[in-house]
Amino acid sequence: MIVRHLNEIKGTENETKAETWSSRRFLLKKDNMGFSFHETIIYAGTETHIHYQNHLEAVYCVGGNGEIETVKDGKVYPITDGTLYALDQNDEHYLRGGTEDMRLICTFNPPLVGTETHDENGVYPLLDDDGNRIK
Ligand code: 9YT
């Protein structure tokens, strides 16, 4: 069994930071669960362009507030504690922090290897176990 606490992840190589968010990666591909599992903080008042072309992601909000806008149709959905969204169509979107930081629990299929961060198009590359880009 795997048991991990946030305090063991913060400030280590398993925390990835960007200008608008921080991702604490609890479970990665090497843990062999078939998905990766993260806590993401989206900073208040920010906007992030995201398009996971190589991954499916489900996201559950457990704190704070914000919104998501899907690019193809301009629909805007509020996000509060208790909201889930699933990017089942690899949906391109804008993720916005609201008046407070948003605390999100995220799962990725296929699982992240560990070092992924958004490229200029909001995409995570598909990496092999050694961190080499496959796609
Ligand atoms: C919700 C979202 O996609 N935020 C960006 C970071 C990502 N969730 C991650 O790598 O944990």
Nearest protein Cα to ligand 1, atom 11: 23
Pocket test residue of 104, 112, 124 for ligand 1, highest count of atoms within 8 A of CB = 104
Burial of 51 (0-12, 13-18, 19+ CB in 10 A): middle
> Is residue 113 a contact partner of residue 29, using CB atoms and an 8 Å limit?
yes
Q: pLDDT tens digit string along 4-18?
A: 999 999 999 999 999
Q: Is the CB of 95 under 6 A from ligand 1?
A: yes
pTM for the whole structure: 0.92
Q: Quick one: pLDDT at residue 117? A: 78
Q: Which CATH topology does 19-109 take?
A: Jelly Rolls (2.60.120)
Given pLDDT bands bounded at 50, 70 and 90, which one contains residue 135? Answer: confident
Atom of ligand 1 nearest to the CA of 124: 10
Q: pLDDT tens digit string along 71-120?
A: 999 999 999 999 999 999 999 999 999 999 999 999 999 999 987 777 77
Q: pLDDT tens digit string along 19-32?
A: 999 999 999 999 99
Given pLDDT bands bounded at 50, 70 and 90, which one contains residue 33? Answer: very high
Burial of 24 (0-12, 13-18, 19+ CB in 10 A): buried
Residue 35 has pLDDT above 90, yes or no: yes
Pocket test residue of 39, 50, 79, 93 for ligand 1, highest count of atoms within 8 A of CB = 50
> Is residue 79 a contact partner of residue 68, using CB atoms and an 8 Å limit?
yes
Helices (H), 16-94: none
Q: Which two tokens stand for residue 56?
A: 């499916």
Q: Is the CB of 79 under 6 A from ligand 1?
A: no
Round to whole Å and give the CA distance between 76 and 28: 30
Query: Higher confidence at residue 17 or residue 128?
Result: 17
